[in-house]
């Protein structure tokens, strides 16, 4: 990755993996089937902003009503900069997890390099970390995920995209 620092992560990725709302909902439900074997959980912690959508679906399916957020900013569209923790977990949630995060469920849309996940794990090491998608570099940090894509794939989420014309594959479409 380091050999083209001027390129965004998406440009370096090369391959595109577009995800529809329907597919995302199905993948979140598949994730919940696995998490249901691991819980119960006292609370769900969404890593914003991408984790908010899967956290809502997973919490609904697991019947969990306490939802907290860890707010982290790093990617400016597709370029990753320094990680900034804008908000940590609340004191109430930390108490539910006994200080180390035991019985808490962290949810994010994906792990890529693993930097975001590593930071949250350091805050609450005993929490269970679940993502819908995982790339190889971040995969060791995740306890439960559904689909792995290669490191050189960029995942396009439905809340970041809109329907648009695509040239035929024969003419060079990705
Ligand atoms: O494993 P990493 O390389 O750290 O990348 C994964 C993180 O990057 C994205 O969030 P982003 O920082 O773009 O913010 P957003 O969720 O607000 O879109 C994604 O939602 C993960 O949280
Ligand atoms: O593949 C990705 N897609 C969307 N956002 C991301 N943030 C890090 N990697 C990705
Ligand atoms: Mg995110």
Name the 3-class secondary structure at 65: coil
45 lines ligand 1 (CB under 6 A): no
Q: What is the mean pLDDT of residues 135-151?
A: 97
Between 146 and 82, residue with greater pLDDT: 146
Q: What pLDDT is stored for residue 7 in this prediction? A: 62
The 8 Å CB, 24+ separation contacts for 62-70 are 62/32, 62/35, 62/36, 62/105, 64/105, 66/42, 66/93, 66/96, 67/43, 68/43, 68/44, 68/92, 68/93, 69/45, 70/45, 70/46, 70/106, 70/120, 70/123
- Out of 75, 77, 118, mutate this one to test ligand 1's pocket (max ligand atoms within 8 Å of CB): namely 75
ipTM for this model: 0.98
Helix (H) or strand (E) holding 159: none
**13: pLDDT strictly greater than 80:** no
| Sequence spans of domains, the chain | 42-147
Cα angle, residue 83 at apex, residues 82 and 89 outer, rounded to 5°? 165
The rounded percent of the chain whose pLDDT value lies above 90 is: 76
Q: What pLDDT is stored for residue 128 in this prediction? A: 98
Q: What pLDDT is stored for residue 5 in this prediction? A: 59
Please state, in angstroms and rounded to a whole number, the distance separating the CA atoms of residues 163 and 150. Answer: 24
End-to-end CA distance of the chain: 20
Q: What is the mean pLDDT of residues 141-156?
A: 97
Q: What pLDDT is stored for residue 1 in this prediction? A: 46
- Out of 112, 132, 145, mutate this one to test ligand 1's pocket (max ligand atoms within 8 Å of CB): namely 112
- pLDDT range class, residue 78, cuts 50, 70, 90: low
Taking the model in full, what pTM does it have? 0.91
Q: What is the mean pLDDT of residues 77-105?
A: 90
**96: pLDDT strictly greater than 80:** yes
Class of domain 42-147: alpha beta
Contact residues of ligand 2, CB 6 A cut-off: 9, 75, 110, 112, 154-155, 157
């Amino acid at each position: 990755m380091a050999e083209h620092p001027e390129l965004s992560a998406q440009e370096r990725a090369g391959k595109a993996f577009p995800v529809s709302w329907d597919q995302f909902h199905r993948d979140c439900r598949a994730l919940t089937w696995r998490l249901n074997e691991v819980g119960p959980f006292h609370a769900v912690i969404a890593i914003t902003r991408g984790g908010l959508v899967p956290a809502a679906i997973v919490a609904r399916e697991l019947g969990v009503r306490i939802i907290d957020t860890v707010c982290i900013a790093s990617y400016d569209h597709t370029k990753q900069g320094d990680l900034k923790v804008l908000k940590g977990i609340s004191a109430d949630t930390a108490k539910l997890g006994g200080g180390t995060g035991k019985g808490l469920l962290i949810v994010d849309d994906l792990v890529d390099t693993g930097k975001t996940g590593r930071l949250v794990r350091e805050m609450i090491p005993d929490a269970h970390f679940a993502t819908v998608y995982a790339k190889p570099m971040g995969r060791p940090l995740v306890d439960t995920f559904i689909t792995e894509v290669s490191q050189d794939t960029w995942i396009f989420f439905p809340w970041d995209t809109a329907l648009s014309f695509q040239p035929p594959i024969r003419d060079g479409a990705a």
